[in-house]
Structure 1
Amino acid sequence: MTEEILVNVTPRETRVAVVENGMLQELHIERGWSRGVVGNIYKGKVQRVMPGMQAAFVEIGLDRAAFLHANDIQRAQPVRDDGAADAFPVPAPVPLITELLREGQDIVVQVVKDPIGSKGARLTTQISIPSRYLVLLPQSRVVGVSARIEDEGERARLKGLVTELAIPVGSPGYIVRTNAEGQPAEALAEDVAYLGRAWALVERQVRDAAVGSCVYEDLSLPMRAVRDLMRRDVEKVKVDSRETCERLRAFAAQYMPALGPAEAGLAEKIEHYGGARPVFDLYGVEDEIKRALEKEVPLKSGGYLVIDQTEAMTTVDVNTGSFLGQRNLEETVYRTNLEAAQAVARQLRLRNLGGIIIIDFIDMHDAEHRRQVLRTLEKSLARDHAKTTVYDFSPLGLVEMTRKRTVESLERQLCEPCHECGGRGMLKTAETVTYEIFREITRAVRQFEAARLLVIASPKVVARITDEESATVVELEEFLGKSIRFQADTQYLQEQFDVVLL
C-alpha cells in the first residue's frame, strides 16, 4: 500500500490530505479564525457547579463556558506500601461533584472535544501532552503501551525502556504510542526530554497566567500531521508552501531521526511541490471533497450508500441499485454488502463522522455472510486513527457502531444549514404555501379593518396563485368583500410571505 500526505497552505487556511493507493482517505482542515482547541491546556475558573448532572461549567476564555464531568476530574491514585502507584487500581466510586469542585475555584483543564454546534468544549483535568512516540501523563505514574502494538516481545521492550527512563521517584506516567514500534532507546529518550521541558513550561505558565489564559497550545495542523500521521510506510509528504516545507523538515529532523545508517530519516520524505497545477487537483482531492459532501455514495458494482448525519446519530443505508449479480439474490446481496463495508469505513474516516453510527446493510439470511461482512468492516476500520467499536448485527439486521468524535464533521466544517429550508432538507411546496396565504388572509380580515389587501410572496408562489388558483382568489374576494392584490418579490424565499392591510 502506497501512502502519501499532501499539505496545501494558503494565508487563511491549511488543508492536509492522506492519500492511500491514489484515493483520498482523510482530510484535515484548519482555518486561521477557527482553529480547533483540542489538546490545549487552560487555566480556568469554575463558573457553575451542577450537582444534578455531576458536572460543572468552567470559564476558559472561549465564547461559551466549557463542560467538565466528575468522571473527567483527576483523583489521587492508590499507592502501595512500597510507594509505587498501582498500575491497575480498583475503580473507586466517583465522588459528588460538590466534593470535587466549588464555584470560583481556579482549575487547570485540557480540552478533549471542540465546541460542536450549540455545545461548549468538553474538558478534563487528566492532563496529557503528546510527542512523536509518547504521551506524557503528568498526574500519573503508570507506563502503558498502545494496544495496536500486538507483538508481546516489542511491548515488553518498549515498556521496559520507558520505565527505565522514568525511574526517578515521583516521575510522571507515559503511554507508548503506536509510532514507537521498532524505535531505539535514543529516540524515546529524546521524547522524554522534550516532554519534560514542555511540562515544566506549562507549570510556569500556570503560576503566572491569568484565569482564562491558554497555558499550552498544541502544534499547528502541518506539524500535527507530521507528528501523528507520518509513519515509516508513508512514501512522500508534498507541501505546496516552501516556508512550511522547511519548517516541517526541521521538525522531522529533530524529532524523527533515522533508525540507522542504512535508513533515510523521515525529513527526507518531505518535499516541496512547486508544480503549476495545484497539488490537490493533481491527486483529484478537490473532486473527492465535493463528493464527500453528497448524501449518495456510488459503489463500483452499481450499488450505492445513502449517508444521513443528524444531531443524534449518523445513518448509512446500503442499496443494490443497478447491481443484478450473476448467481442468485443472496449472492448479489452478499457481494454488495462486502463492497459497502469497505466503502463505509472509508467514508466515516473521510467525512470524519463520529458518535453513534447505524449501518443498514441489505438483509442477509446466511449467518456466515453476516460474519464476513462484519469482519470486512472491522478490517477496513483498522487503519482509522479514531477509536471505533463495532457491535454485531441487531435483531433488525442493523450494525451499530461508535466512532470517537473530537472535532466537527467535514460537512459541518465546510457547510452551513440551507438559508431557505433551515437545514431540514425539505421545502414546503408552492401549493402548501398558497393555502397558508389564503388562511392568513381570512385571519387578518377578521382581526383588523382594511379596505384591501396586498400579498407579497416569492415569484413561484405568486405565479401559482394568479394562474392555477385565480378562481379561488375571486371566490375569496367575494366572501370577504375585500380586494386582494398579489406582488412577486425575488427577495422572498418560497416559504416566506407577508399579508399587508391597506
Structure 2
Amino acid sequence: MAKLLINYAPFEIRVGLVENGQLVEFYVERPSEKSLVGNIYKGKVVRVVPGINSAFLDLGLSRTAFLFGDDIMPSSEIEWEKDTVFMANLYEILKEGQEILVQVIKEPLGNKGARVSTNLTLPGHYLVYLPYMNRVGISRKIKDDLERKRLREIVERIKPPNTGWIIRTAAVGATEEELKAELDFLLCLWGEIKEKAEKMKAPALVYEELNIALRAIRDLFTKDISEIVVDDKDFFEEIKNFLERYFPNLAPYIKLYQGKEDIFFAHGIQIDIKKLLSRKVWLKSGGFIVIEPCEAFTAIDVNTGRYTGTKELEETVYKINLEAAEEIAYQLRLRNIGGLIIIDFIDMENPEHQELVVQTLKEALKKDKAKNSFLPISAFGILQMTRERKRDSLYKIFLESCPYCHGEGSIKSKKTIYYEILRRLIKMGPHIKNKKIEIEIHPDLSEIIGEEIHYLEDLEKKYGFSTTLKPNKEFLVYEYKFHILT
C-alpha cells in the first residue's frame, strides 16, 4: 500500500508519495516561489507574431506570457471521440490590446515567460472540465473496455449540453453519484470564475491553483493509497475541511501525525538533498548510473562499475541495463526530470535484449503520471525519450549556480540553507527553552534571512529561545554552526 505524507512549515510545504516504504515522488512548494501552472489570468495581448504563429500577453507578471497557435485548441494527448486537428492562425484571431482568458500550462523557464493556453481546464479528482469544448475524453490508462463504456455513458448522461469533460484514471469504480457531485462542483467553480473575470480589467489573476498539498491529493490519490498523513494540526484542519466540502469521499483517509520526529523520518525516509540529487546512483549489482542535467536536455550514462558477473559479457551488460532501466524510471519520477532525456545504455549486440530493456523502462514508467515518448535504441546504444515537464524539477527548487565555480556546477540555494537552519531549530526547540543560540553563517546568507526573519522570530516565540547571527567570512556559503551560549 501507499501513503501520502504532508510536511507543513510556514516557509515550505513538502509532499511525498511513499510506496512500499520507498519515496517515489517528492514535491516542494514555497510561498515565495509558488507555481503558476493552473492559474487562470485575464491577459492583454501585447504583440502578435505571424512568422512564428505566436502571441505575447501581459498577465501582470515580470515577463510576458507566450501563446502558441496549437495552444488555442485541445491537446492531442487525450483520446477524443472524434479526431480534431487544427492549427489556429493567431494573427487572424487576436489583436493587440485584446483581453482574453488564458491558463498557464508551463512555468517560466530561464529567460522565457510562462506558456499559456486558451483551452482552459478545471481538474477534479475524477473529471476534468473543459468549458469551451463539447467532447467527452477518457484517460488512455483505463484499459478495461467495459469500464470505459460505463464511465463514458454516465458522463454523457449527466453532463450539460455543449460542455467538455475528460474522465481521469481515478474515476475507475466511481459511482454515478460521485461523478455527478464532482461535475456539479466544477460547473459551479467555472461560474464563479466567469463572473469574477467579467468584473476585472486585464492584466489580472482570476483563479489561483490549489496549493501543492491539495493538488497532490487531487491528482495522486488512488485506491492504492491507504492514508493521507499531515503533521500540522491547523493545516490538517484546513485540508480536512476542504476535502469534506469538495471531495468528501477522500476525507476519511486524512490522518493527523502527532509524533515528535520528522514525519518522513518516522516513516523510514531520510530527506537528504545531497543524496536525493546525487550525480551518481549505485545499482544493487555494483553498476551505477550518472545523471547530468544540462541546459537543453538531461544526460544519463549507464556504467558497469563494480559488477563482476560470471557469465558472458553480453549477458552481464544486459542485466546491468535492465537494472538501470528500472532505476532510471524511478529517478525521473522522484526528481521530476522533464524535457528531452538522453540515456546511454551499455552497448548490446542482441536486438532482443535492446527491446527488452526499452520495455522494462516503459513498464517501470507506467505509474508515472507524466506523459512520455520514446525512440528505439540507436546503433550507438543511445535511447532518446521525452517526459512531460510542467513544473520545476527538484534541481530547480533546491539548487542554484555555484559562485565558487562560476556557474559550472550547483550548490544548495541560500533559501534552502536558511530553511535547513530553521528545521534544525525546530528539532532543537523543545530542548533549548530560555537558551541563547549563536548561529555562525556566511555573510551572503544575511540577506535572505533578513527578508524572511519572521520565520526565525516565530520559532523564538514558540520555543522560548533567542538567537544571534554571527557572520563568518571563512565559511563557505552553505556552512553554518550552532553555539549554545547559556
**TM norm structure 2:** 0.81
1:141 and 2:134 are equivalent in the alignment? yes
| 1:235 CA drift (Å) | 1.6
1:391 and 2:384 are equivalent in the alignment? no
**Aligned partners of 2:50, 2:226: CA distance in 1, in Å?**
52
348, 354, 358: which one aligns with 1:374: 358
1:358 and 2:342 are equivalent in the alignment? yes
1:180 and 2:171 are equivalent in the alignment? yes
1:9 and 2:8 are equivalent in the alignment? yes
Q: Give the structure 2 partner of residue 283 of structure 1.
A: 267
| 1:344 CA drift (Å) | 0.1
Aligned partners of 1:6 and 1:18 also within 8 Å? yes
165, 169, 173: which one aligns with 2:161: 169
Aligned partners of 2:136 and 2:164 also within 8 Å? yes
**Aligned partners of 1:376, 1:129: CA distance in 2, in Å?**
34
Residues 364/421 of structure 1: CA separation in 2 closer, same or farther (3 Å cut): same
Q: Give the structure 2 partner of residue 91 of structure 1.
A: 85
Aligned partners of 2:273 and 2:398 also within 8 Å? no
Q: Deviations over 1:462-490 (max 9, x none)?
A: xxxxxxxxxxxxxxxxxxxxxxxxxxx98
If you compute each CA radius of gyration, which structure gives the higher value, 1 or 2?
A: 1
Aligned partners of 1:132 and 1:255 also within 8 Å? no
1:52 and 2:51 are equivalent in the alignment? yes
**Aligned partners of 1:89, 1:337: CA distance in 2, in Å?**
38
Matching residue's letter, 2:369:
H
Q: Deviations over 1:154-212 (max 9, x none)?
A: 0011011000011x433x11000000001000000001100110110111011001212
Q: Deviations over 1:202-253 (max 9, x none)?
A: 1101100121211111111111111111111102221111122223233334
**Aligned partners of 1:57, 1:291: CA distance in 2, in Å?**
40
| 1:89 CA drift (Å) | 4.8
224, 239, 242: which one aligns with 2:215: 224
SS in 2 for 1:33: helix
Q: Give the structure 2 partner of residue 270 of structure 1.
A: 254
| 1:100 CA drift (Å) | 1.8
Q: Give the structure 2 partner of residue 212 of structure 1.
A: 203
| 1:393 CA drift (Å) | 0.8
CA-based RMSD of the aligned residues comes to 2.1
1:233 and 2:224 are equivalent in the alignment? yes
1:347 and 2:331 are equivalent in the alignment? yes
**Aligned partners of 2:134, 2:88: CA distance in 1, in Å?**
22
Q: Give the structure 2 partner of residue 153 of structure 1.
A: 146
Q: Give the structure 1 partner of residue 234 of structure 2.
A: 243
**Aligned partners of 1:289, 1:235: CA distance in 2, in Å?**
27
SS in 1 for 2:43: strand
SS in 2 for 1:393: coil
Q: Deviations over 1:405-449 (max 9, x none)?
A: 0111101111100012232139xxxxxxxxxxxxxxxxxxxxxxx
Please give the residue correspondences for 1:352-501 in structure 2 after superposition, counting only pairs within 5 Å: 352-425=336-409
SS in 2 for 1:249: helix
**Aligned partners of 1:270, 1:370: CA distance in 2, in Å?**
44
Q: Give the structure 2 partner of residue 39 of structure 1.
A: 38
Aligned partners of 1:136 and 1:175 also within 8 Å? yes
**Aligned partners of 1:254, 1:164: CA distance in 2, in Å?**
24
**Aligned partners of 2:100, 2:92: CA distance in 1, in Å?**
14
Percentage of matched positions with identical amino acids? 42
Aligned partners of 1:187 and 1:257 also within 8 Å? no
Residues 27/492 of structure 1: CA separation in 2 closer, same or farther (3 Å cut): closer
| 1:288 CA drift (Å) | 4.9
**Aligned partners of 1:106, 1:18: CA distance in 2, in Å?**
40
- Aligned residue pairs: how many? 410
SS in 1 for 2:308: coil
Matching residue's letter, 1:378:
K
| 1:326 CA drift (Å) | 2.1
SS in 1 for 2:401: coil
Aligned partners of 1:345 and 1:380 also within 8 Å? yes
What stretches of structure 2 of length at least 5 have no aligned partner?
Answer: 75-79, 411-472, 478-486
Please give the residue correspondences for 1:247-326 in structure 2 after superposition, counting only pairs within 5 Å: 247-257=238-248, 266-326=250-310
Q: Give the structure 1 partner of residue 97 of structure 2.
A: 104
SS in 1 for 2:375: strand
**Aligned partners of 2:342, 2:30: CA distance in 1, in Å?**
31
Matching residue's letter, 1:343:
E
Q: Give the structure 2 partner of residue 83 of structure 1.
A: none
**Aligned partners of 2:47, 2:40: CA distance in 1, in Å?**
20
Aligned partners of 1:24 and 1:288 also within 8 Å? no
Range 206-215 or range 194-203, more displaced: 206-215
**Aligned partners of 1:148, 1:312: CA distance in 2, in Å?**
29
**Aligned partners of 2:332, 2:19: CA distance in 1, in Å?**
15
**Aligned partners of 1:315, 1:104: CA distance in 2, in Å?**
43
**Aligned partners of 1:210, 1:256: CA distance in 2, in Å?**
32
Q: Give the structure 1 partner of residue 77 of structure 2.
A: none
1:122 and 2:106 are equivalent in the alignment? no
SS in 1 for 2:33: coil
**TM norm structure 1:** 0.78
**Aligned partners of 2:317, 2:247: CA distance in 1, in Å?**
47
Q: Give the structure 2 partner of residue 460 of structure 1.
A: none
**Aligned partners of 1:5, 1:206: CA distance in 2, in Å?**
35
Aligned partners of 2:45 and 2:94 also within 8 Å? yes
Aligned partners of 1:39 and 1:217 also within 8 Å? yes
Matching residue's letter, 2:360:
T
Matching residue's letter, 2:329:
A
